[in-house]
């Protein structure tokens, strides 16, 4: 693509809102309990956290040190107050989402204003789309063109040139035109998917819903956390605004971060109705089983089979198959898990507890090459066959 430059004044390094005392967090590590769950340390007071040095925290009267690669999630014990989300969302190719409003283009960076953080920058090659918060389905399939979606239902394909003032400059078969933002529903940029990071990173989720994956995290204790945006600018975030931090590229890798090597659908109805959902049920709603909401997992419909290429890198699969609460009252499913083609778990699920879920599982992989998750109908011709694979995660040795 050809990108025009637009000179913009960007907020200075180290911008911040005044920070108060450090709140408490629950820390989840990849050490498994006898019940096959990740260990959860409650009410930790963070004394220091960096990606290189790991976590130092006080839990009650005890001091605890944990390597950053052994951390699964750090979650606020109290829900931070929600910030204003803004009218737009910027979607990045690494699955980050920024609520706020577009500002413009500076060199090869997209500049976006986010609530509580001011102006953030991200290389244009990392931007997947910009859409209004009212929603626009964005495909992640690679494309060799850009697309502008208009509020009246029209769509233009071509090349995005720049964002200037209150309009998008766009070249198409109509020539080079300026489209007022007030007429735009969304902008999807062509390009290739990003490769997963090889080095450890932290994915920070704020009270506004903004997610930021960063290779720089410095929390010296107290009420302020330092991170870098994708363009390398240091941001200072009040710890009270952090909802959770999840490590990416550590010993634990959630299946929701991976792309299956093969997906098979054999539906009674259109397969397109029920795509695999990451960190939500097959309807796109929160994963919910017996009234409890789960933040990590996969949502599928019965007659779906997912195969993952593991490359011999993992020791254990942590997973809990279940029927989503939305499957009541008719949902039934038979789920199975195979490692290198051999079935290691199988169970028929019914929509009412306790038959609606399996217990938490820790299945040995021991360097396996493939993993297959399958959900097929066990009755009612697949009606309400909404299956969740909760906490589905791979753990390295």
Helices first, then strands: H and E counts in the chain:
0, 34
Sheet holding 175-180, edge to edge: 118-123, 109-114, 97-106, 88-92, 127-132, 184-188, 146-150, 155-164, 167-172, 175-180
In the predicted model, what is the mean pLDDT of residues 192-196?
Answer: 75
In the predicted model, what is the mean pLDDT of residues 337-353?
Answer: 94
In the chain, what's the furthest Cα-to-Cα distance? 69
Is the pLDDT reported for residue 85 higher than 70? no
Lookup: tokens for 263: 């997906």
Q: What span, in angstroms and rounded, lies between the C-alpha atoms of 96 and 127?
A: 10
Instruction: Give the tens place of pLDDT for each residue, 239-289.
Output: 999 999 999 999 999 999 899 999 988 655 544 467 899 999 999 899 999
Q: What span, in angstroms and rounded, lies between the C-alpha atoms of 176 and 51?
A: 46
Q: What is the pLDDT of residue 119?
A: 93
Is the pLDDT reported for residue 37 higher than 70? yes
Lookup: tokens for 393: 């995660």
Omega cis (within 30) before 329: yes
For the question of whether the overall pTM of this predicted structure is more than 0.85, the answer is no
Q: What is the pLDDT of residue 81?
A: 62
Instruction: Give the tens place of pLDDT for each residue, 89-113.
Output: 999 999 899 999 999 999 999 999 9
Is the pLDDT reported for residue 5 higher than 70? no
Distances from the Cα of 13 to the Cα of 16, 100, 109, 327, angstroms: 9, 19, 16, 49
Instruction: Give the tens place of pLDDT for each residue, 206-240.
Output: 998 999 999 999 999 888 999 999 999 999 999 99
As a whole number, the mean pLDDT across the chain is 88
Instruction: Give the tens place of pLDDT for each residue, 149-162.
Output: 999 999 999 999 99
Instruction: Give the tens place of pLDDT for each residue, 124-141.
Output: 999 999 999 777 888 888
DSSP string, 106-119: ETTEEEEEETTTEE
Is the pLDDT reported for residue 25 higher than 50? yes
Domains with residue ranges and CATH for the chain:
24-77+198-251 (no CATH), 88-188 (2.30.30), 253-395 (2.60.120.1060)
Q: What span, in angstroms and rounded, lies between the C-alpha atoms of 80 and 202?
A: 19
51 pLDDT band, cuts 50/70/90, is very high
Q: What is the pLDDT of residue 197?
A: 72
Residue 36 or residue 7, greater confidence:
36
φ, ψ (nearest 5 deg) of residue 319: -165, 155
Euclidean distance between the first and the last CA atom of the chain, given in angstroms as a whole number: 42
Omega cis (within 30) before 197: no
Which residue from 313, 367, 376 is spatially nearest to 349, judged by alpha carbons?
376
31 pLDDT band, cuts 50/70/90, is very high
Is the pLDDT reported for residue 6 higher than 80? no
Is the pLDDT reported for residue 83 higher than 90? no
């Amino acid at each position: 693509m050809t990108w025009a430059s637009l000179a913009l004044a960007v907020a200075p390094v180290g911008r911040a809102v005044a920070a108060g005392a450090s709140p408490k967090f629950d820390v989840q590590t990849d050490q498994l309990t006898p019940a096959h769950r990740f260990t959860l340390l409650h009410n930790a007071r963070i004394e220091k956290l960096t990606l290189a040095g790991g976590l130092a925290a006080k839990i009650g009267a005890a001091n605890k040190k944990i390597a950053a690669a052994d951390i699964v999630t750090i979650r606020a014990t109290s829900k931070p107050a929600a910030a204003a989300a803004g009218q737009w969302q910027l979607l990045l190719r690494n699955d980050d989402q920024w609520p706020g409003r577009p500002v413009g283009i500076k060199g090869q960076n997209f500049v976006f204003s986010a609530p509580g953080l001011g102006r953030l920058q991200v290389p244009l090659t990392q931007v997947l789309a910009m859409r209004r918060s009212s929603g626009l389905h964005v495909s992640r399939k690679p494309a060799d063109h850009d697309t502008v979606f208009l509020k009246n239902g029209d769509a233009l394909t071509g090349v995005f040139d720049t964002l200037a003032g209150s309009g998008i400059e766009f070249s198409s078969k109509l020539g080079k035109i300026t489209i007022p933002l007030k007429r735009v529903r969304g902008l999807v940029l062509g390009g290739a998917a990003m490769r997963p990071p090889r080095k450890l990173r932290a994915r920070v989720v704020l009270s506004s819903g903004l997610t930021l994956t960063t290779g720089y995290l410095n929390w010296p204790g107290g009420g302020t956390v330092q991170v870098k945006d994708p363009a390398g600018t240091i941001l200072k975030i009040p710890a009270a605004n952090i909802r959770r931090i999840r490590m990416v590229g550590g010993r634990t890798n959630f299946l929701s971060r991976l792309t299956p090597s093969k997906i098979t659908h054999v539906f009674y109805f259109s397969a397109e109705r029920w795509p695999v959902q990451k960190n939500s049920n097959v309807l796109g709603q929160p994963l919910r089983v017996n009234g409890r909401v789960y933040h990590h997992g996969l949502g599928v419909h019965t007659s779906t089979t997912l195969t993952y290429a593991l490359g011999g890198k993992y020791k254990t699969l942590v997973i809990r198959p279940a029927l989503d609460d939305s499957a009541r009252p008719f949902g039934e499913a038979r789920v199975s898990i195979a490692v290198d083609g051999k079935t290691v778990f199988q169970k028929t699920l019914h929509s009412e507890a306790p038959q609606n879920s399996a217990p938490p599982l820790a299945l040995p992989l021991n360097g396996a090459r493939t993993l297959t998750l399958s959900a097929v109908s066990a009755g009612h011709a697949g009606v309400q066959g909404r299956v969740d694979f909760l906490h589905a995660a791979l753990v390295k040795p």
